[in-house]
Structure 1
């Protein structure tokens, strides 16, 4: 997980000793504790908490960031994920004057994506007071789903328990006989296509056409050359899917091709596309020897920017290669990225 990264408007960096005054000021402002005033710690207690944040970075290589405004360089909050028992806790707290700008959502979305790709094995959760509607919306827009309640240590005995929200997980399935939700896959695929998604068919394609293409993917899985990635919510509901395919050519054994990226069209804006991509990258990284991943998409769909945010670079296109309908030819756009995040290096020869 990167020690430091940026979003569209913010810099996210590791805390250092000089950030202690900001941390204390942020965590002793009563305006930020209207939903849980009993949870506000004293200045001395917050010094100890800050030391714990720094130690977590020292021990694990990730943790809560100091969030800075890219335009001014000024700190505006603290956010990120860190270990909390059997899960990773998603946290975000911003200066009162920074509220209303969408900063918490921007950072929370990035934190959950990075954790999904780089910190496998532990679910990302947030614990939020039920009356804190803005914080609940932030967690949900970051991709988390409500997964029960818990009596938090800071909850008063006469209050409702806190809400637990959990990020979806990406599960890889290599054995076609173990795909537990074939009908769910077909249902999702048809709904995405009917909603205008570029998932291999012209608008209005029938379920039988989709099923025939699914059968071809299943045959590739049965041959040991493909892995299905399924994005599942905490209850096991299918939210999205994609396939990694390998080439039978030994010269391309270090690469995989990404096909049929799709998420539930009814859940747009919930960060699920990036979470699916992050989980797929984790699956590819777990495959022996895989270093490079490639995809292609149909021009005119507006997804190039999305894939660029997932680390991909356009490496070529075939003009007019995809005929959506008579008189409607689109480019086949090819993008690639290295799994380690390094820049692509073209060969110097011709």
Structure 2
């Protein structure tokens, strides 16, 4: 697996020796360190830092990327996750440093989300965290927008000044597999499902649906789970709050058992805009891969605005039935089917080479 990727505007690639000067330029620029001028890079520290980046790639196969403009190829910054340790355990540190000319454009958020999603899908054995000073409000916003949640933990860093406040610890939510629901989890899912429905989410009901109707749909999914035809992925913040959910369902036809259908993907409306959807999808992809699944499919209704999100997660449209979904009298929507391979390779039609 080559852990390189693209976002809407960026190419995120593995660094090489040829990137040493760019690394030094970014980490020696005082404008980049306006909130912590005492840790600006020197020739010696930059060398050690860059050598460590290359070594991490050699040893672990992933790490901090060079972020390039996807159109021009111009390098704009450094972003990614890399193993870290210390008093707060083994974790993956989310890192982002961009040239000043790239600030204020949302590029660090865009790249940070890709890094958190990659780590969630492929390196879930360690939590993703970021250590940020509270007065660095831009960095705090980037950590939150990248899909991390603020915790109650603070950390004193080795290079902190004597009177400097500790750093805040942010951590990504984590996705766990669920094969059966206890009563507490059942109530959590019903609460989440109701909030998403009332916020207009396309999860099987229109706003105002009763809790009883949603509970009946949940019971049907539980029957699938009990029969071994479905399992769920639960997205929980570090404090344990359930903030996302989705099911992988196997259809009865044994010829299709190498695939799964995604149902009822939902993220807490209060967490919208923070990258949680990408984290949830990445975790669901990991769970499907661990279950031996090869092909993933899902259905969306046109006009819901979610097709672009699923395309960002690697799905492509493979079918459409115009007007198949009647939202209301005079409001018919298309039933759109999208699919992707679990391994991320292109879909290839039979006989198509």
| Correspondence 1:198 to 2:216 | no
| Correspondence 1:324 to 2:300 | no
Residues 7-56 of structure 1: CA deviation (Å, up to 9, x unaligned): 11111111111111111111112222222222223112211210110111
CA distance in 1, matches of 2:134, 2:159: 13
Indicate the residue corresponding to 2:303 in structure 1.
300
| Correspondence 1:88 to 2:56 | no
Indicate the residue corresponding to 2:68 in structure 1.
68
Indicate the residue corresponding to 1:30 in structure 2.
30
Indicate the residue corresponding to 2:233 in structure 1.
229
TM-aligned CA deviation for residue 180 of structure 1: 4.4
TM-aligned CA deviation for residue 326 of structure 1: 2.2
Indicate the residue corresponding to 2:52 in structure 1.
52
Indicate the residue corresponding to 1:98 in structure 2.
102
Q: CA RMSD in A?
A: 1.4
CA distance in 2, matches of 1:322, 1:3: 39
TM-aligned CA deviation for residue 72 of structure 1: 2.5
TM-aligned CA deviation for residue 71 of structure 1: 3.0
Matched residue of 2:314: which SS?
A: coil
TM norm structure 1: 0.96
Indicate the residue corresponding to 1:130 in structure 2.
134
Indicate the residue corresponding to 1:342 in structure 2.
345
| Correspondence 1:17 to 2:29 | no
CA distance in 2, matches of 1:73, 1:80: 18
Query: In 1, are the aligned partners of 2:24 and 2:41 still within 8 Å (CA)?
Result: no
- In structure 2, list runs of 5 or more residues that go unmatched: none
Residues 88-107 of structure 1: CA deviation (Å, up to 9, x unaligned): 00000111222222211111
CA distance in 1, matches of 2:68, 2:313: 22
Indicate the residue corresponding to 2:181 in structure 1.
176
CA distance in 2, matches of 1:257, 1:120: 23
Equivalent in 272, 279, 284 of residue 276 of structure 2: 272
Indicate the residue corresponding to 2:125 in structure 1.
121
Equivalent in 304, 310, 318 of residue 313 of structure 2: 310
Query: In 2, are the aligned partners of 1:245 and 1:256 still within 8 Å (CA)?
Result: yes
CA distance in 2, matches of 1:68, 1:314: 28
Matched residue of 1:160: which SS?
A: coil
Query: In 2, are the aligned partners of 1:189 and 1:210 still within 8 Å (CA)?
Result: yes
Matched residue of 1:158: which SS?
A: coil
Query: In 1, are the aligned partners of 2:96 and 2:112 still within 8 Å (CA)?
Result: yes
TM-aligned CA deviation for residue 322 of structure 1: 1.6
TM norm structure 2: 0.95
Query: In 2, are the aligned partners of 1:14 and 1:64 still within 8 Å (CA)?
Result: yes
* Alignment length (residue pairs): 347
Matched residue of 2:31: which SS?
A: helix
